[in-house]
Amino acid sequence: MKKKAMGNSVEKTDFQIAFGRQIEKFRTEQNLSYRQLAQRCDIDHSNISKIEKGEINIQLSSVLQLAKGLSISPKELFDFNFDLGDVIS
């Protein structure tokens, strides 16, 4: 059981990293600094960096704020490939 729990933790981290890359992609495409995006989102600039690196797990309300700050639909933030592997049966 421990191995499975550990695997779930790795999958969550991998997903957070993939999500963070999406944030970074949209931010850099718009030539925004961490601070500029943070001001648009009302999220601390240090947290923008942590989100992009997959270091923190954010709430849905933060997803909405990020989407607003990037002037995109929230669903665009989740439009990336992520292999669920054996998770889906």
H and E: helices and strands count for the chain: 5, 0
Q: In this model, does residue 89 exceed pLDDT 70? A: no
Q: What is the pLDDT of residue 67?
A: 98
Buried b (16+ CB within 10 A) or exposed e, 19-33: bbebbbebbeeeebe
> Between 88 and 51, whose confidence is greater?
51
Per-residue model confidence as pLDDT tens digits over 25-73:
999 999 999 999 999 999 999 999 999 999 999 999 999 999 999 999 9
Assign 10 a pLDDT band (cuts: 50, 70, 90).
low
Q: What is the pLDDT of residue 26?
A: 98
Sign of CA dihedral 6, 8, 9, 15: positive
CA torsion, points 87, 61, 28, 84, in degrees to nearest 10?
0
